[in-house]
Structure 1
Amino acid sequence: MSGVCGIIGIFARDGGASTEAVAAAMAVLRPRGPDGVGVWCSPDGRAVLGHTRLAVVDPGGSAQPIGDEPSRTRLVANGEFYDYRRIRTALADTGHPCRTRGDSEIALRLYLRDGHRALRELRGEFAFALWDGRRRELFAARDRFGVKPLYYAERNGRLYLASEIKALLACGVAARWDPEAYAAHLQMALPPDRTLFAGIRQLPPGCYLLAGDGGITVHRYWDLDYPTTEELAAVEHGSPTALTGHLAQVRAGLDEAVRLRMVADVPVACHLSGGVDSSALVATAAGHREVTAFTVSFADVTLDESPVAARTAARLGVPHHRIALTPADFAEHLAATIRAGEMVQENAHGVARYLHSAAIGARGFKTALAGEGGDELFAGYPQFQQDLALSRSPAARDRARSGYRKLIECGAPPHLRGVLDRLGFLPSWLTQRYFAVLAPSRPLLRPEFAEVLARTDACTPLLEQSRQQLAGRSALHQSLYLFAKSWLPNYILGAERLDAAHGVEVRLPFFDHQLFATAKAAPLPWYTRAGTTKYVLRAAVHDRLTEEVRTGAKRGFFAPPTVCDDGLLATVREICAGPALRDNPFYHPAAVRRLLDALPTRPAGQRAASERLVQLVVATSVLTAAFGMTTGEATG
């Protein structure tokens, strides 16, 4: 199919649109799809669809937009629809045969057969837009977890939607900061339908959009649905062989998710670290076809996972490439990474990911598998382990309540007090965000933005929207759900834009909704056994892992802190010495410079503690300069 492509669409209710209206946006999106372009305008001028293609499946065919003349429909898609061969056969059997050999067309044919219900049949990482000439309606959708982005904005009575914000700006949408959205990011994460750009929204994961004569509406077609505590208890106290059966189901589910993502008419690469998730994926993928592994390497041995990855690759007989990164590499590509991602970075791992994909693309690979999602599915992050303890241990709950009382006495902000009132606990990742980001940020803020931050509550709206999905669930599953609706699509999956900048599509087997349906059924004691985190995953694929990976502790992917390298710190100083910081609407230049002046005198540990703050200052300054951002009225 198409791989990590670029899509652009316009809906003009009164007509008058033309292909020329998306020419600038198509140029911006070309790095996402260097293998071909296509543009179509409806005869009545009410719709324009554009596509830049990365050819991964059926490279000689499946050019887009894909159309069906009798129904006057056209479709452009970004991403992959998996298991498409089976669906193509089923469509042909029901009188809706596909003309191409790729996977994109199944979305069009399913829509013509089932309407909006077609989304139930689609499996994968995708965003697409479809013009229905019969209904005179634009239909657009985004995958369940939000792996693929889809942004939209209105300008002069027209709706614009695209794979990247830069494409919307190229169509004339104004580049303005949304201060309330950035305040929400500091507190928790961006709201599911907002961006850092005022007036530019994102279609939330698991949702579709309709635009027609009746206006623009957004509808949900899928949501995470964790079992209630009663349902989990029934499994836990049921058959004594339940755990064995669950492990077999997880293994089979992972096998299927990987197998489907190995379907490609081009070579497939894999991200490989020293951890369980990527090691399990590479081992599983190697059982289906030849793969090549890539690992980022740092000079700091405490953060460098390449030796473990090399031993894993050697055991599997998989070709392995080590991408050695130096502080000079980070300095050179810091601004480009932020511009490509269209979002703030909080650790230098964004630059590492950007260069990782550059190296994969430079070796001729267009698609790769990666291990994001393993920690969300199997509660691998330390914060989730703390929430798991709250769910299972009365002593842990008592200790937490004592900590909550102290936090309230010290003046906890309203957004945390609201969460505590509604849930009876604070998700550990949310508490950590307060202590690691929000509280330390306050001395650096401009007074006018500090006021915006004080009156912002990013948590209450999400809690209100999530009542049904949170009710009756354990603290762990409530925490996992809120994380998946906020931090996951808005930060972790933001790496998609960094990969796309180099024409590389990254496929994520752990974010397979069928695998999620299997994994979520695990009772709480199964998440950790005998002191081993992510027990279910380790046990399900134990024979595919080396001993050092199987028994190794959880290691997050972190690049060496920028603030601990004098050369990188000089780059930061250079950025903060110019107009980028002067025009930054969030941070006070004098306060930032005092922090930067003090850092070289501090021990390494104290310097590292300021990494997130410095990254946030640099990222917002670079975005301000790169896009000519002004301060606009927040929307929504």
Structure 2
Amino acid sequence: MCGIAGLYNIGTLEPVTQGLVKAMTDTISYRGPDAEGFFVAGPVGLGHRRLSIIDLEGGRQPMSNDDGTIWIVFNGEIYNFQELREDLVKKGYRFKTRSDTEAIVYLYEELGEECFQHLRGMFAIAIWDARKRQLVLARDRVGKKPLFYAYDGSRIAFGSEIKAILQVPGMACDLDLEALSDYFSLLYVPAPKSIFKQVRKVQPGHYLVASQDGIREGKYWDLSFAHTLELSELEWCERIIEAYREAVRIRMISDVPLGAFLSGGVDSSSVVALMSELTGGQSITSSIGFHEKEFDELEYARLIADRFHTKHYEQVVEPDAAGIVSKLAWHYDEPFADSSAIPTYYVSKIARQHVTVVLSGDGGDENFAGYRRYMFDQRENRVRALLPAGLRKAIFGTLAALYPKADWAPRFLRGKATFESLSCSHIEGYFRSVSACGPELKARLLHQDVAGALKGYDSADLFRHYYDRSGSDDPLSRILYVDIKTYLPDDILVKVDRASMANSLEVRAPLLDHKFMELIATIPSSMKLRGPVG
């Protein structure tokens, strides 16, 4: 895992200095404490901070092809690089290292922008193509690795984190009021926005090409829920386990110590079980606990650790853990209000004392409809189906207005929130259910000048956009797609990336393997969500 940054003066062609690129990468040095490297040639500069995982000596970056016309900086891991390497060798390419980075260089030389669809893994990539005088930025399919950029018409700067881009002199950083509105609703800033108007996120599954002609964007992957497979439960179990085992296996390739996060839940426990099966040896696991019993899951983590004979490490978060918030603010760069960022930071810290790479259970809830909100949404949708939209709005809108507000209560006891949701369409109701601030509260929070500048902007439009593009008419599949496009990359994966990278730890998520996700997307919703839980 690494940190990358760079600059291309497209319009002025003014030379980039190594000092500037170094200033950019110095701000994210914790992402790659093992080495630094730079490539500067006229108007372009690439910088890299390395956390060594594979080919510790030969994998230094920036890296180029044989004639120096293609240069790359890359953050992430490509799990199928050995197969890609074999194919490229057959086509005449000669490798000098064992690194996955070199495979990307030659794959781009062979296929151009089509190369990204052949990569299996997590990545944020910047490629300088001197032949075409273009800078190419690409991000993995789900958004495991961050990649920001700022383009002002004459130059484009990029970085693994916003702070690297802000080192560029004269780079504007005005507050994006729409992003602020999104944050008040969702407690995170969804892509492609950042909290700064001039800084954008490369969207998952996309690439950007910056040249004298400007910027163009391409999409190389999307998850489709359009088709389902009608198989028996036994057949599904066999297919899922086979694909899951393979996703775990390829993520255990490493030249440094490797372990796993263990919460005691189904997702992380299943990862540990498969790691134990595949290695036949002792895995290293790390867990975090709390003094408050209602939040503490160490008991379950210990059961799994004992069951699979792992070398287990744990830590209880002390009451003064909130003191870490100011440090986390430095790493996040923009507003972020998921409180689990604190324990994720601490479990990363304890894991880093023993390993450099961990596997996690992230993605299980989004794939298999594991969050309780999916159950509530399904129940509400059954009620929606009973009444015409106009009648629903009249009845439940009136009840919502009369019902007392009870934000302190669990959702299933908050009648007002439920009535408000039922008065809306499915996607509007779902947006309200996951929003921290409804439109009424947000209207009271925002200054009238801010509200006026927003000109009626509705944060729910982002959810509507993805809801209509899921490829499915199934209600559950549509909101799973929405969450995979919003909550997963912009909350869950941001939290994991910043917390782990703050501790120079690499996290791999087998449940977010794109081939595994494509398989799970074909499971009928009736098999994902039944009874009280997913």
Tell me the TM-score normalised to structure 1 length. Answer: 0.75
Q: Return closer, same or farther for 1:171/1:446 CA change in 2, 3 Å cut-off.
A: same
Mapped pair 1:268 → 2:258: yes
Q: Residue 246 of structure 1 aligns with which residue? A: 236
1:253, 1:17 → 2: CA distance? 46
Q: Residue 478 of structure 1 aligns with which residue? A: 478
Question: What count of residue pairs does the alignment treat as equivalent?
Answer: 509
Partner SS state of residue 385, structure 2: helix
Q: Residue 94 of structure 1 aligns with which residue? A: 91
Q: Residue 415 of structure 2 aligns with which residue? A: none
Between 432-441 and 67-76, report the one with greater CA deviation: 432-441
Q: Residue 612 of structure 1 aligns with which residue? A: none
1:57, 1:278 → 2: CA distance? 24
In structure 2, what residue type is equivalent to 1:203? V
Q: CA deviation at 1:175?
A: 3.8
Q: Residue 352 of structure 1 aligns with which residue? A: 343
2:349, 2:431 → 1: CA distance? 33
Q: Return closer, same or farther for 1:152/1:212 CA change in 2, 3 Å cut-off.
A: same
Q: Return closer, same or farther for 1:360/1:406 CA change in 2, 3 Å cut-off.
A: farther
Q: Residue 112 of structure 2 aligns with which residue? A: 115
1:441, 1:351 → 2: CA distance? 26
Mapped pair 1:336 → 2:289: no
Mapped pair 1:224 → 2:223: yes
Partner SS state of residue 293, structure 2: coil
1:400, 1:301 → 2: CA distance? 45
Cα deviation digits, residues 471-503 of structure 1 (max 9, x gap): 542111111111222222111111211211111
Partner SS state of residue 317, structure 1: coil
Q: Return closer, same or farther for 1:251/1:9 CA change in 2, 3 Å cut-off.
A: same
Q: Residue 407 of structure 2 aligns with which residue? A: none
2:357, 2:263 → 1: CA distance? 17
Contact 2:363–2:512 (CA under 8 A) maintained in structure 1: yes
Contact 2:153–2:214 (CA under 8 A) maintained in structure 1: no
- Alignment counterpart, residue 55 of structure 1, candidates 52, 55, 63: 52
Alignment of 1:528-607 (within 5 A): 528-529=529-530, 531=531, 533-534=533-534
Between 425-434 and 476-485, report the one with greater CA deviation: 425-434
Contact 1:190–1:487 (CA under 8 A) maintained in structure 2: no
Q: Residue 363 of structure 2 aligns with which residue? A: 373
Contact 1:210–1:217 (CA under 8 A) maintained in structure 2: yes
Mapped pair 1:314 → 2:306: yes
Alignment of 1:121-520 (within 5 A): 121-155=118-152, 157-172=154-169, 173-188=171-186, 190-227=189-226, 231-232=227-228, 235-236=229-230, 242-289=232-279, 290-330=282-322, 332-361=323-352, 363-389=353-379, 394=382, 397-398=385-386, 405-406=394-395, 408-409=397-398, 424-426=425-427, 429-434=430-435, 439-440=440-441, 442-452=443-453, 455-460=456-461, 463-464=464-465, 467=468, 469-495=469-495, 496-520=497-521
Q: Return closer, same or farther for 1:353/1:403 CA change in 2, 3 Å cut-off.
A: farther
Q: CA deviation at 1:65?
A: 0.5
Contact 2:185–2:437 (CA under 8 A) maintained in structure 1: no
Q: CA deviation at 1:97?
A: 3.4
Q: CA deviation at 1:36?
A: 0.3
Partner SS state of residue 208, structure 1: strand
Q: Residue 575 of structure 1 aligns with which residue? A: none
1:407, 1:20 → 2: CA distance? 61
Identity of aligned residues (%): 29
Cα deviation digits, residues 500-549 of structure 1 (max 9, x gap): 111111111111110011111111221135x3644xxxxxxxxxxxxxxx
Residue segments in structure 1 that go unaligned for 5+ positions in a row: 412-418, 535-636
Contact 2:7–2:158 (CA under 8 A) maintained in structure 1: yes
Q: CA deviation at 1:156?
A: 7.7
Partner SS state of residue 46, structure 2: strand
Q: Return closer, same or farther for 1:381/1:200 CA change in 2, 3 Å cut-off.
A: same
Q: Return closer, same or farther for 1:299/1:403 CA change in 2, 3 Å cut-off.
A: farther
Q: Return closer, same or farther for 1:128/1:399 CA change in 2, 3 Å cut-off.
A: same
Q: CA deviation at 1:84?
A: 1.5
Higher helix content, 1 or 2: 1
CA-atom RMSD, angstroms?
2.8
Q: CA deviation at 1:125?
A: 0.9
Q: Return closer, same or farther for 1:156/1:222 CA change in 2, 3 Å cut-off.
A: closer
In structure 2, what residue type is equivalent to 1:318? T
Q: CA deviation at 1:155?
A: 4.9
Q: Return closer, same or farther for 1:436/1:292 CA change in 2, 3 Å cut-off.
A: farther
1:32, 1:438 → 2: CA distance? 38
Q: CA deviation at 1:389?
A: 4.8
2:336, 2:190 → 1: CA distance? 17
Q: Return closer, same or farther for 1:420/1:115 CA change in 2, 3 Å cut-off.
A: farther
2:185, 2:242 → 1: CA distance? 39
Cα deviation digits, residues 184-204 of structure 1 (max 9, x gap): 233356442111112100001
Q: Return closer, same or farther for 1:396/1:245 CA change in 2, 3 Å cut-off.
A: farther
Cα deviation digits, residues 126-172 of structure 1 (max 9, x gap): 10100111111111100000110100013582110000001111223
Q: Return closer, same or farther for 1:403/1:256 CA change in 2, 3 Å cut-off.
A: farther
In structure 1, what residue type is equivalent to 2:26? A
Q: CA deviation at 1:385?
A: 2.4
Residue segments in structure 2 that go unaligned for 5+ positions in a row: 402-420
Partner SS state of residue 170, structure 1: coil
Partner SS state of residue 146, structure 1: coil
Between 305-314 and 488-497, report the one with greater CA deviation: 488-497
Q: CA deviation at 1:115?
A: 1.1
Cα deviation digits, residues 199-232 of structure 1 (max 9, x gap): 10000100000011111111111111112xxx43
2:522, 2:57 → 1: CA distance? 42
Q: CA deviation at 1:364?
A: 3.9
Tell me the TM-score normalised to structure 2 length. Answer: 0.88
2:111, 2:363 → 1: CA distance? 30
In structure 1, what residue type is equivalent to 2:458? D
